[in-house]
Amino acid sequence: MKRVYLTTILTSLAMLLLFGFLFSFGKNAVVSNHLKVGFIYESDASAPYTYNFSLAEDMLQEEFGNKVQLVIRNNVRDEEIESPIQELVQKGCGIIFTDSYAEKFRKLAADYPDVQFCQASFPISDETLPDNYHTFKGKAYQGRYVSGIAAGMKLNEMIENRVIEKSEALVGYVAAFPSPEVISGYTAFLLGIRSVCPDAVMRVRYTNTWCSYSIEKEAASLLIEEGCRILSQHSDTIGPALACEEAFIEKPVYFVGYNMSMLNVAPSSALVSTCINWTPYIVSAVEAVMNHTPIEKYVNGEVHGNDMCAGFDLNWVEILELNTQIAAHGTQEKLNSAIDALRKGNLDVFHGDYIGVNPDDPDDTIDLRKPYEENKNFSSPSFYYILEDIITIE
pLDDT, residue 231, reads 98
DSSP of 81-93: -HHHHHHHHHTTE
Query: Does residue 350 have a pLDDT over 60?
Result: yes
Query: What φ, ψ does residue 133 adopt, rounded to 5°?
Result: -105, 130
**Count of alpha carbons within 13 Å of 171, Cβ hemisphere only?**
31
Name beta bridge partners: 366: 356
pLDDT, residue 26, reads 33
pLDDT, residue 33, reads 66
pLDDT tens digits for 196-206? 999 999 999 99
**Count of alpha carbons within 13 Å of 53, Cβ hemisphere only?**
28
**What domains can be seen in the chain, in order of their start residue?**
33-138+278-310 (3.40.50.2300), 140-277+312-393 (3.40.50.2300)
pLDDT tens digits for 282-293? 999 999 999 999
Question: Could you tell me how far CA 242 lies from the centroid of its own chain?
Answer: 22
Q: Of 323, 338, 167, nearest to 254 (Cα)?
A: 323
Query: Does residue 190 have a pLDDT over 90?
Result: yes
Query: Does residue 245 have a pLDDT over 70?
Result: yes
Confidence of residue 164 (pLDDT cuts 50, 70, 90): very high
Query: What φ, ψ does residue 47 adopt, rounded to 5°?
Result: -95, 135
pLDDT tens digits for 93-141? 999 999 999 999 999 999 999 999 999 988 877 778 899 999 999 999 9
245-268 as b/e: b if 16+ CB within 10 A: bbbbeeebbbbbbbbbbbbebbeb
pLDDT tens digits for 293-334? 999 999 999 999 999 999 999 999 999 999 999 999 999 999
What contacts 172, CB < 8 A, 6 or more positions away?
Answer: 202, 203, 204, 205, 220, 223, 224, 226, 228, 230, 231, 232
* Residue 4, helix vs strand vs coil: helix
Cβ neighbour number for residue 132 with a 10 Å cutoff: 18
Contact 172, 203 (CB under 8 A): yes
Contact 199, 389 (CB under 8 A): no
Residue type at 71? V
Mean pLDDT of 157-179: 97
Query: Does residue 178 have a pLDDT over 70?
Result: yes
Mean pLDDT of 38-43: 96
Query: Does residue 2 have a pLDDT over 60?
Result: no
Name beta bridge partners: 202: 171, 391
55 or 17: which leads in pLDDT: 55
CA torsion 82→285→343→322, rounded to 10°?
A: -70
Q: What does the alpha-carbon distance between residue 97 and residue 56 come to, in Å, rounded to a whole number?
A: 11
Query: Does residue 62 have a pLDDT over 80?
Result: yes
Confidence of residue 34 (pLDDT cuts 50, 70, 90): confident
User: pTM to 2 decimals?
Assistant: 0.90
Query: Does residue 340 have a pLDDT over 50?
Result: yes
Q: pLDDT exceeding 70 applies to what percent of the chain?
A: 91
User: What is the average pLDDT score of the chain?
Assistant: 91
Q: What does the alpha-carbon distance between residue 270 and residue 53 come to, in Å, rounded to a whole number?
A: 22
Q: pLDDT exceeding 90 applies to what percent of the chain?
A: 88
